[in-house]
Copies of this chain bind each other. A is one copy, B any other.
Amino acid sequence: LEAGRQEELTATLLATHPAEVANLLESLPPEQRSELWDVVPVAQESEVLSFLHDEARTTIVDEMDEGELVAAAESMAPEDLAEFIDELPEDLTNALLISMDADHRKRLDSVLTFEEASAGRLMSTDVISVRKDVSIAVVLRWLRRHESLPPHTDSLMVIDDEGLYLGKLDVADVLTSNPETEVEAIMQPEAATVRDNLSEHDVAALFERRDLISVAVLDSAGKLLGRITIDDIVDVIREESDRALLRSAGLNDEEDMFAPVLPSARRRGVWLGINLITVFIAAWVIGRFEEALEQIVALAVLLPIVASMGGIAGSQTLTLTIRALALNQIANANVRWLLTKEVLVGAVNGMVWAVVVALVTYLWFGNIGIALIIGIALILNLLAAALSGIVIPLLLNRWGIDPALSGAVILTTVTDVIGFLSFLGLATLFLI
């Protein structure tokens, strides 16, 4: 790139898959990113754009002029364009809509009528449909009149005169059946379908459970609207796991590693601010015990141990609970069983590590009272951690708050407070 051999680079890029070009762009700092974008062949631009993550895409779109944008937008599939246009500033969106041809705009409008992250948004309308009363020979002739089939066509959709969905016809069955067979005889009326308003999360779960390649999307009347294919589902699954990971650290879903300093600092600062509030609560609890701390300085030294062990044990239970919630494995019937189990696990580990911590404390400070009290506080905190690790995500989930986002912050506040309270409280009661 630095040598400036642009033509050679353009040729290399053309031979590279657009998804790989997008990944390369995302691993470059802003300046080099825009230099590389300048050499991306125009023909490849729209595909590369559709592979970029939202935030990285925004940095690139900001540098494109309107003509370039319109050209790229026009060669995008309507479902990719819909996602893309959601992220643009409003004046650019309007400019784009105006300069688009009528047919393209109409297709875009129809995608935009569906809610974000719904099956309607994911689907493509590029479907091959057949009637149930024709023979396979007719289907074969009809397919041969196509230049090519839509990508990932593993089945054709069987519909009636009104466009109502009747079932699917596997391409494999078309190939292995006798040409005289009627479609109706080999179509699968019981095949899985989804409603247009189903969430993409639920669509992905269906694909995973049933090992699907594509699924028909129907409206409330049972009319065929389009189909969703596995490649889009793989993206949904990847994005969901990405989101869970980033959110657990209080990061934005679409965080761009190479975003400028100030926006990054602002976004991450929010989470630091929330954490600051919770840690001031914990500090306030410690402050209630100034007298004990003044008299026994060892308490201050040992404070982080009780809190930290509670935090780790709690986040183990929390992580398992969040995962079980995502897999729909938690229901009223098994919550009590789970609570009992986790509390028992907390009790076992609490007792084991309480002995170790008490022993080390005794050897360090030579004070049997402090050793006993830190052991008891540790057990109490691990029990509280187990309870919180289940109860907090279940409550957040019931209230419609994503436990992956805020669960850990609330949990560590609870384990900090209970750890400090039990350790310093017991010390105040028995040692002073």
Mark A residues whose CB is within 8 Å of B.
Answer: 17, 19-20, 23, 26-29, 140, 143-144, 146-149, 151-154, 171-178, 207-211, 213, 230-231, 233-235, 237-238, 240-242, 244-246, 248-251, 255, 257-258, 261-262, 264-265, 268-269, 271-273, 275-276, 279-280, 282-283, 286-287, 290, 293-294, 297, 299-305, 307-309, 312-313, 315-316, 318-320, 323-324, 327-331, 334, 337-338, 341, 344-345, 348-349, 352-353, 356-357, 360, 364, 416
Query: Please, how many angstroms separate the alpha-carbon atoms of A211 and B290 in the complex?
Result: 62
Query: Please, how many angstroms separate the alpha-carbon atoms of A160 and B420 in the complex?
Result: 73
Closest to A232 in B: B211
Choose among B240, B315, B329, B357 the residue that contacts A276 (Cβ–Cβ < 8 A). B357
Closest to A282 in B: B304
Known: A209-B20, A230-B234, A309-B275. A265 touches B348 (CB 8 A): yes
B210-A271 in contact (CB<8A): no
Query: Please, how many angstroms separate the alpha-carbon atoms of A290 and B262 in the complex?
Result: 39
Closest to A209 in B: B19
Shortest beta-carbon distance, A182 to chain B, in Å?
16
Shortest beta-carbon distance, A76 to chain B, in Å?
15
Closest to A151 in B: B211
A307-B309 in contact (CB<8A): no
Known: A19-B209, A153-B172, A210-B17. A301 touches B286 (CB 8 A): yes
Query: Please, how many angstroms separate the alpha-carbon atoms of A341 and B262 in the complex?
Result: 10
A242-B211 in contact (CB<8A): no
Task: Provide the residues of chain B in CB contact with A329, threshold 8 Å.
Answer: 23, 26-27, 257
Closest to A177 in B: B144
Choose among B248, B279, B318, B344 the residue that contacts A319 (Cβ–Cβ < 8 A). B248
16 additional A-B pairs beyond A245-B248, A250-B316, A297-B300, beta carbons within 8 Å, are A27-B324, A27-B330, A144-B175, A171-B172, A230-B230, A233-B234, A255-B320, A257-B324, A258-B338, A264-B345, A268-B316, A269-B353, A273-B356, A283-B301, A287-B301, A293-B293
Interface centre among A20, A148, A320 (most CB of B within 10 A): A320
Shortest beta-carbon distance, A135 to chain B, in Å?
14
B320-A305 in contact (CB<8A): no
Query: Please, how many angstroms separate the alpha-carbon atoms of A301 and B262 in the complex?
Result: 32
A146-B27 in contact (CB<8A): no
Copies per complex of this chain: 2
Interface centre among A213, A353, A357 (most CB of B within 10 A): A213
For the residues of A in contact with B, the DSSP-based class is helix
Task: Provide the residues of chain B in CB contact with A294, threshold 8 Å.
Answer: 294, 297
B234-A207 in contact (CB<8A): yes
Closest to A296 in B: B294
Closest to A294 in B: B297
Closest to A149 in B: B172
Closest to A409 in B: B312
27 A-B pairs whose Cβ atoms sit less than 8 Å apart in the complex: A17-B210, A27-B324, A140-B175, A144-B178, A149-B172, A154-B213, A171-B175, A230-B234, A238-B241, A244-B245, A246-B319, A246-B320, A248-B248, A249-B315, A257-B324, A258-B337, A258-B341, A265-B345, A269-B353, A271-B316, A272-B312, A279-B308, A286-B300, A287-B301, A300-B300, A300-B303, A304-B416
Task: Provide the residues of chain B in CB contact with A143, threshold 8 Å.
Answer: 175-176
Choose among B334, B337, B352 the residue that contacts A269 (Cβ–Cβ < 8 A). B352
Closest to A265 in B: B348
Shortest beta-carbon distance, A283 to chain B, in Å?
5
A273-B149 in contact (CB<8A): no
A349-B255 in contact (CB<8A): no
Task: Provide the residues of chain B in CB contact with A308, threshold 8 Å.
Answer: 275, 279, 282
